[in-house]
Structure 1
Amino acid sequence: MIRERLQQLGLELPEPVPALYQYVPVVVHAGVAYVSGQVPRVDGKLPYVGKVGKDVTVEQARELARFCVLKGLSCLEAEIGSLDRVERILKVTGYVQSADGFQQQPQVIDAASELLEQIFGDQGRHARTAVGAAELPGNTPVEIDFIIAVQG
């Protein structure tokens, strides 16, 4: 059903990427999936790098936030077998590498929130934190992690 919804929205999940460092992409415990921070690499490269509000526009950062969602869902699906097992998106934490004085982190991470609601409906509505960061790994403008309730 969720795969059909993705098709209706014209979206494809990228191939899940193994962790680059000493962590696992997803941990499922007691019906809750913790999806590690997703960096929006496309074919191993970041489409945009730098600080949002200086090197990267809000719209470019929103595009990256949407791709973080798709990457996270890809990792989740690889771990649990089907996105139809998602009961609810519980929490999203978005990090925006921000230029001095940039205060539009919520607008950037809204792109991820909006996409999750488009995909999962009311089950996609979630608690959220959107924070500015001085630096992020690989000079990525956006990184997002997720906490998701899944059926046993």
Structure 2
Amino acid sequence: MSFDQDTQPAGNKSPEQRLAKMGLTLPPVPSAVGAYEPWVRVGNIIYTSGQLPWIDGDLKYTGKMGAELSLQDGYEAFRLSALNGIAQLKSAVGELSRIKRIVRVEGTAHTTADFTEQPAALNGASDLINDVFGANGRHTRMIYSDPAMCLNCATLVVLWAEVAD
């Protein structure tokens, strides 16, 4: 079980309270950049489309890890992509406390052929999700690499989340 700085179990706070304690606010929900839905609900599962490291309509991280970007840049880019994914989840359910479980995180990293630290970079997304959702954030995951990403973005994150009825 994780504990916050006040030594209270993290599970006693809502995801929105945890975000606030971390000094984070959810960004405006990014709109689709193509002919698709930003998220879809099937039964009790919400699937987000790929979320990029947007801030106010601009990509904060572009380029390849192993070239223009460091591992730390990749970590921060995945963290920001996940924050945009969390904003999509909130738009789907209203209150993040309705998320029963983050089931899966899939990340795609824009990398050079010799960059091999993709799992450590994807921890930017996993760490944020675990901090925001506590035990309900523990998830499976998959990391992919791509030598050419849309819009030259550094990262892309897809979330699968179970919703409580």
TM-score range, shorter-chain basis? over 0.9
Structure 1 residue 3: Cα displacement: 1.1
Structure 1 residue 100: Cα displacement: 1.9
- The CA distance in 2 between the partners of 1:17 and 1:144, in whole Å, is 13
Q: Which residue of 2 aligns with 1:108?
A: 121
Q: Which residue of 2 aligns with 1:20?
A: 33
Q: Is the 8 A contact 2:30 2:57 kept in 1?
A: no
Q: Which residue of 1 aligns with 2:11?
A: none
Report Cα offsets for 1:75-124 as digits up to 9, x if no partner: 11112111110001100110001112111110100111011111111111
Which protein is bigger by CA-based radius of gyration? Answer: 2
Unaligned stretches of 5+ in structure 1? none
Q: Which residue of 1 aligns with 2:8?
A: none
Matched, 1:74 2:87: yes
Q: Which residue of 1 aligns with 2:112?
A: 99
- Once the two structures are aligned, what percentage of the paired residues are identical? 32
Q: 1:134 aligns with which of 115, 129, 147?
A: 147
- The CA distance in 2 between the partners of 1:122 and 1:52, in whole Å, is 30
Q: Which residue of 2 aligns with 1:64?
A: 77
Q: Which residue of 1 aligns with 2:6?
A: none
Q: What is the count of residue pairs matched by the alignment?
A: 152
Q: What residue identity is the alignment partner of 1:124?
A: G
TM-score by length of 1: 0.96
Computed over aligned residues only, the root mean square deviation of the Cα atoms, in angstroms, reads 1.0
Q: What residue identity is the alignment partner of 1:84?
A: S
